[in-house]
Amino acid sequence: MRLDLSGRTALVTGSTQGIGLAIATGLAEAGARVAINGRDPEKVRAVLPERGDFVAAPADLTTDEGVAALLEQLPSVDILVNNLGIFGAQPALEITDAEWRRYFEVNVLTGVRLTRAYLPGMKERGWGRIQYIASDSAVVVPAEMIHYGMTKTALLAVSRGFAKEAAGSGVTVNSVIAGPTHTGGVEDFVYELVDKDLPWEEAQREFMRLHRPQSLLQRLIEPEEIANMVVYLSSPQASATTGGAVRVDGGYVDAILP
């Protein structure tokens, strides 16, 4: 199967590292012009891959000013990947109102704002792809970070709702349920929960054994494996997949459907 995104412009939010950067790279390898986004302009420019058609799109998408600046630079896109998100472990009864609001603002509302901005143009042109990077935590809410799980559950509802708004237009809207993935941030998170003196391979196995025992993959997923699904869903070949929550979770969620 040849996935050709030539002539398409994509925006991947929060794409200076980890899953976001892997997605941006994958979309560019399929021929798309890809906007790399992050808050720090210097960091955005520093991580622009040498191969592929990339543009720097620095903006703090948690602010009205940042969104306005981004839309001025990128008034329309064909592919929107809402990847921006924060996570962290915190005892449930110690999560403050401010933290609940911050997680919802960053993980949910940034994607809603951009969908609201870009979906009308996609509908007018009769083609578009919108994706929300969700998580297995949307379905199996982890006790150590229920505020994060709540936001990922919300993304499943948001994507399904916007898919209905796009019905019949040629635009598809989906969420991608990513399983436990190997990124720098996740390495830090793993070491919050297991012995910090363990070598990484042992720490990873211990984390999966103690905190993610239902994973059928029995290892962390690599960012490129998430990117492969996103590139497919962005392609013309995925034209009949919309309103879905597509799993790249290594069999972590113990259910036939999300």
Question: Which residues are marked as active site?
Answer: 148
Sign for the pseudo-dihedral over CA of 252, 254, 255, 258: negative
Rounded CA separation 149/135 (Å): 8
- Give the side-chain half-sphere CA count within 13 A for 30: 28
Radius of gyration from C-alpha coordinates of the chain: 18
Specify which residues 82 forms β-bridges with. 132
∠ CA(38), CA(49), CA(42), 5° rounding?
A: 40
CB 128 within 8 A of CB 62: no
Rounded CA separation 78/33 (Å): 10
Rounded CA separation 173/129 (Å): 6
Rounded CA separation 17/161 (Å): 29
